[in-house]
């Protein structure tokens, strides 16, 4: 039994069906890459997994460690070990990076983490991600560059240590140097915690660092192919047309 099981999941966004019976297993200590053309349902799956209320689950189930969490809210899913790194992280004016992460950590742990222990965790993980310590006191994502926003997301990942991390296009909006540092941080957390990682991406470049155990291609809201990292190589050189898959109209992603 995999830690995260997705069973025949059908999801609609504002009445439009996006996922059409997708089934997928994601286990701990495994890196899975999810790829597919625009509008195939990649980000919709990520939001549905975390319980975004505007992503309506029409049928199917989501199981965590054997428990059906399909009807649970995002906070309860997080407490059970799910984490989502957003493609476009939102600014949170008035809330510092430090306070935001400490509040999240206390919630996930179910009890207050002593301040000295938290500050030690924060300093260590910021150093790992080569973040200026001053970022801890800045308002979350306010005025951050694309790369800084993504580092802040991975900082949360490193401190919260979920069982399964869903990384929704973490490579978007980052330059080569930032992507390398972010990827190295993800790898270190993965090695330390044995968390499972679901990497959602259009391109191979992040997979040069994260080295997926398997690559899954979805199209029109269904899994159409699964294989080794060589699938990503083929997509990089020949595109999805090599598999008889065309680009679709970009599905709306509701924030």
CB 192 within 8 A of CB 10: no
Residue 253: pLDDT band (50, 70, 90) is very low
Q: Set out the domains of the chain in order of their start, with CATH numbers.
A: 4-243 (3.40.50.300)
pLDDT in tens, 74-132: 999 999 999 999 888 999 999 999 999 999 999 999 999 999 999 999 999 999 999 99
Structure tokens at 142: 């306010």
Q: Is 228 helix (H, G, I), strand (E, B) or coil?
A: coil
pLDDT in tens, 4-14: 999 999 999 99
Output the furthest CA–CA distance in the chain (Å, rounded). Answer: 55
Report the C-alpha gap between 234 and 243 in whole angstroms. Answer: 9
Cα 233 to Cα 58, 204, 215, distances in angstroms: 34, 7, 10
Taken in order 20, 54, 163, 173, is the CA torsion positive or negative?
A: positive
Over the chain, what is the mean pLDDT?
A: 92
pLDDT at 192: 92
What average pLDDT does range 139-167 have in this prediction?
Answer: 94
31 C-beta neighbours (distance < 10 Å), count: 23
Cα 91 to Cα 40, 75, 136, 146, 165, distances in angstroms: 27, 19, 14, 12, 21
Structure tokens at 30: 């495994």
Q: Which residue has the higher pLDDT, 199 or 172?
A: 199
Say what the pTM is: 0.92
Place of tokens 């090599």: 242
What average pLDDT does range 224-242 have in this prediction?
Answer: 89
Bridge partners (DSSP) listed for residue 31: 197
pLDDT at 131: 92
Bridge partners (DSSP) listed for residue 214: 32
Q: Is 88 helix (H, G, I), strand (E, B) or coil?
A: coil
Using alpha carbons, select from 22, 53, 69, 229 the residue that is nearest to residue 164.
69
Residue 251: pLDDT band (50, 70, 90) is very low
Residue 247: pLDDT band (50, 70, 90) is low
Q: Is 92 helix (H, G, I), strand (E, B) or coil?
A: strand
């Amino acid at each position: 039994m995999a830690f995260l099981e997705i069973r025949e999941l059908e999801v609609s966004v504002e009445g439009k069906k996006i996922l059409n019976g997708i089934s997928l297993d994601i286990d701990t200590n495994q890196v899975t890459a999810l790829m597919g053309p625009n509008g195939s349902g990649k980000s919709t799956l990520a939001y549905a997994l975390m319980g975004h209320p505007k992503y309506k689950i029409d049928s199917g189930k989501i199981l965590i460690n054997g428990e059906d969490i399909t009807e649970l809210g995002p906070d309860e899913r997080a407490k059970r070990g799910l984490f989502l790194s957003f493609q476009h992280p939102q600014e949170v004016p008035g809330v510092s990076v430090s306070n935001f992460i400490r509040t999240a950590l206390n919630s996930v742990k179910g009890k207050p983490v002593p301040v000295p222990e938290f500050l030690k965790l924060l300093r260590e993980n910021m150093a790992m991600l080569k973040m200026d310590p001053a970022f801890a006191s800045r308002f979350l994502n306010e005025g951050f560059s694309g790369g800084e926003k993504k580092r802040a997301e991975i900082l949360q990942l490193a401190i919260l240590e979920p069982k399964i991390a869903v990384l929704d296009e973490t490579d978007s909006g980052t330059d080569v140097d930032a992507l390398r540092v972010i990827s190295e941080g993800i790898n270190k957390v993965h090695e330390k915690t044995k968390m499972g990682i679901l990497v959602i991406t259009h391109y191979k470049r992040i997979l040069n660092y994260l080295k997926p155990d398997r690559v899954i291609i979805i199209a029109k809201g269904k899994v159409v192919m699964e294989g080794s990292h060589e699938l990503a190589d083929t997509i990089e050189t020949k595109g999805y047309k090599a598999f008889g898959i065309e680009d679709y109209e970009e599905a709306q992603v509701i924030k």
